[in-house]
Amino acid sequence: MNKIQRGALAALLIVIVVIAALAPAGIGFLFAQRSQRQAETTRLNTVADAALIRAEDVTRRLSGALGEIGKVAAAPCSQPYLRELRRIALTHRQVRDAGAYDRDGRWQCSSLLGAVSAGTLDGLTLPAPDWRSRDGLMAWYGLTRLPGGELSLVMGRNGFYVAADPALYIDGADFRAGPASGVAVINTEVSRVIATTPATDAAAVLAVYRTAPPVRDCSPYVVRRSVSMPLAVVVSAPHQSVRQRLRTLPWAWLLGGVAAGLLFAGWAAFFIVRRLSPRGQLSDAVRRHQFIVAYQPIVDLATRRCVGAEALVRWKYHDRIVRPDHFIPLAEHRGLIQAITDQVLDTVLLELGDFLRHYGEYYVSVNLSAPDLTTHRFLDVLGPAIARQGVRPQQIRIEATERSFLDAEAAKEVISAFRHAGHAVYLDDFGTGYSSLSHLQNFRIDGLKIDKSFVDTVGQDAASSSVASHIIDMAATLDVQVVAEGIEREEQAAYLHARGAQFGQGWLFSAPLSAAEFIRYAGKTRGA
């Protein structure tokens, strides 16, 4: 991975971690806002319920006082009549004044000022009522030309009336959930505002009532309609500054989101770093079956005919091939090598199964790691796999390096089991370890593979130039085959063949091939 790729991955990592940290915090903030809006809606509903109960109660009491005046038997505006008006006004604390008017709406008398002749409001005529019910009940909203000159709500019927302070509809209501809310009481039949709390915009309230907003958590208004009276209540949420809203925000949601974001960001960073690490990438490659197999032909040095191939695993990573020496040690260290070996076997049988079944003289050798040379695991996998493909045991050979023999006793038993099952076993990279000779004494094997480092010195004036010939002689004494690796020049092939090596592989004969290329190569040398 070059610097540009690493920089891009680092930038991507930062972006993902930031998103991982902010997303839960943002979600927590949204939930906190939603919780705040739900709490506000609940509060507004509570205020609206209380306000509607208050408005109905005031209307009921004023109507009751008006009904009592209608039952007074004395002549209108007589002294007995005025005494009854004063009694009714005192009995009903909501009533500010009570009086009478004639059929033309002219004011006749008042509980506060008596008859017209005794007052200063001679000639007052009530305007057309703001509302009239079917049974003759009338209401005036916002009259000021009454005794005391204060803004009054007036209800009248059949020539008598009661007056009250419109604020009674608002003042004294049990607004425990929040008195700071804006409250307006409306006559629903004429869409007229009866009373509002201070600073409430009556026009805005009427507009809300007329559009009948749907009930939803985010609405700043709640509308309640009476089922028994032509009344409605509109409650609005008070305007709050950003600081006030933050103060009332349910911080548990937000803090929970921040905590979850930090945890998630930490997990994301760990996961991404692990995935982007060589170990993570290799694990992902095993899971995705990103390994391919190249086939290095093995030829008979005497006839130059192909007799088989060594299966070389390659990692195809983002359209480039990773060399085995870059990932095999890591795979062995991280316990992934066995899964890779199984994928190599599956690929060999998938790509060359038909070829091997039709041409029994060819074989493919598979490299095994130390774990699979100390247990029967791979042998238990190999047997059923080749049986399903109809491939004979001798057509799959095993190559083992000296590193595989750390547990010599276990390796000796497993090698014997492979050979007993019909699989030839070759000792790979012979001569590169300190104990190669002792291995030849302890293990029964079928062949030696001379390491390329010794083949390279053939024909050169080097201290190790004769090692290859000594290995060949040793193999002849032990009656095992010799395969020379890394042959690149014709003089190397001729020398090794002259000394007694039977087989060789290397770029002199062919580079590692794909399955199709190997089949063509084998056919070409078979016909030679």
Which domain CATH number covers 373? 3.20.20.450
Tell whether 468 and 355 lie within a shared domain.
yes
In this structure, are residues 13 and 266 in contact, taking their beta carbons and an 8 Å threshold? no
Output the CA torsion 196→199→205→208 (10° steps).
-140
Give the global pTM: 0.55
Tell whether 82 and 220 lie within a shared domain.
yes
Q: Residue by residue, what is the 3-state secondary structure of 226-277? A: CCCCCEEEEEECCCCCHHHHHHHCCHHHHHHHHHHHHHHHHHHHHHHHHHHC
Three-point CA angle 363, 364, 365, nearest 5°: 120
Bridge partners of 293, per DSSP, are 313
Per-residue model confidence (pLDDT) at position 95: 92
Domain-embedded: residue 484 = yes
Tell whether 155 and 65 lie within a shared domain.
yes
The rounded distance, in Å, linking the Cα atoms of 170 and 164 is 12
Tell whether 259 and 297 lie within a shared domain.
no
Domain-embedded: residue 283 = no
Output the CA torsion 506→508→512→516 (10° steps).
-130
Long-range contacts of residues 274-282, Cβ cutoff 8 Å, at least 24 apart: 276/9, 276/13, 278/327, 278/330, 279/330, 279/334, 281/317, 282/315, 282/327, 282/330, 282/331, 282/334, 282/336
Q: Which of 241, 276, 311 is the last residue of a domain?
A: 276
Strands 131-132 and 320-322: unpaired
- Candidates 378, 451, 373; CA nearest to 406 is 373
In this structure, are residues 100 and 109 in contact, taking their beta carbons and an 8 Å threshold? yes
Query: What phi, psi does 366 have (nearest 5°)?
Result: -120, 130
pLDDT truncated to tens, each residue of the chain (528 aa)? Answer: 544 555 555 565 666 656 655 566 566 556 656 666 777 778 788 888 888 999 999 999 999 999 999 999 999 999 999 999 999 999 998 899 999 998 888 888 889 888 876 445 556 788 899 999 988 899 999 887 666 667 889 999 999 999 999 988 887 544 444 445 688 999 999 989 998 888 788 888 888 888 865 544 455 788 889 999 999 998 887 654 445 455 554 545 456 556 666 666 666 655 555 555 666 777 888 888 889 999 999 999 999 999 999 999 998 877 788 888 888 888 888 888 899 999 999 999 999 999 999 999 999 999 998 888 889 999 999 999 999 999 999 999 999 876 666 677 888 899 999 999 999 999 887 766 544 566 666 778 899 998 888 898 887 765 556 788 888 988 888 889 999 999 999 999 999 999 999 999 999 999 999 999 999 999 999 865
In this structure, are residues 364 and 348 in contact, taking their beta carbons and an 8 Å threshold? yes
Domain-embedded: residue 186 = yes
The length of the chain is: 528
Tell whether 271 and 295 lie within a shared domain.
no
Domain-embedded: residue 305 = yes
In this structure, are residues 397 and 448 in contact, taking their beta carbons and an 8 Å threshold? no
Tell whether 482 and 456 lie within a shared domain.
yes
Bridge partners of 394, per DSSP, are none
Domain-embedded: residue 172 = yes
Helix, strand, coil shares of the chain, percent, nearest 5, are: 50, 20, 30
Per-residue model confidence (pLDDT) at position 478: 85
Tell whether 233 and 316 lie within a shared domain.
no
Q: Which of 222, 243, 276 is the last residue of a domain?
A: 276
The rounded distance, in Å, linking the Cα atoms of 349 and 355 is 9
Structural domain boundaries, residue 146: 1-276
Three-point CA angle 165, 170, 175, nearest 5°: 155
In this structure, are residues 273 and 494 in contact, taking their beta carbons and an 8 Å threshold? no
Tell whether 464 and 439 lie within a shared domain.
yes
Domain-embedded: residue 463 = yes
Q: Residue by residue, what is the 3-state secondary structure of 150-206? A: CCEEEEEECCEEEEECHHHHCCCCCCCCCCCCEEEEEECCCCEEEEECCCCCHHHHH
Number of other CB atoms surrounding residue 33 within 10 Å: 17
Bridge partners of 296, per DSSP, are 310
Per-residue model confidence (pLDDT) at position 170: 83
Number of independent structural domains in the chain: 2
Q: Which amino acid is at 23?
A: A
Up-side HSE of residue 513: CA atoms within 13 Å toward CB?
22
Domain-embedded: residue 355 = yes
In this structure, are residues 387 and 428 in contact, taking their beta carbons and an 8 Å threshold? no
Tell whether 326 and 464 lie within a shared domain.
yes
H or E element at residue 299: strand 291-300
Per-residue model confidence (pLDDT) at position 104: 86
Tell whether 16 and 155 lie within a shared domain.
yes
- Measured CA to CA in angstroms, residue 341 lies from 85, 337, 381, 445, 511 at distances of 108, 6, 11, 21, 22
- Candidates 213, 50, 228, 244; CA nearest to 133 is 228
Domain-embedded: residue 281 = no
Tell whether 302 and 269 lie within a shared domain.
no
Tell whether 261 and 319 lie within a shared domain.
no
Q: Which of 215, 249, 276 is the last residue of a domain?
A: 276
H or E element at residue 2: none
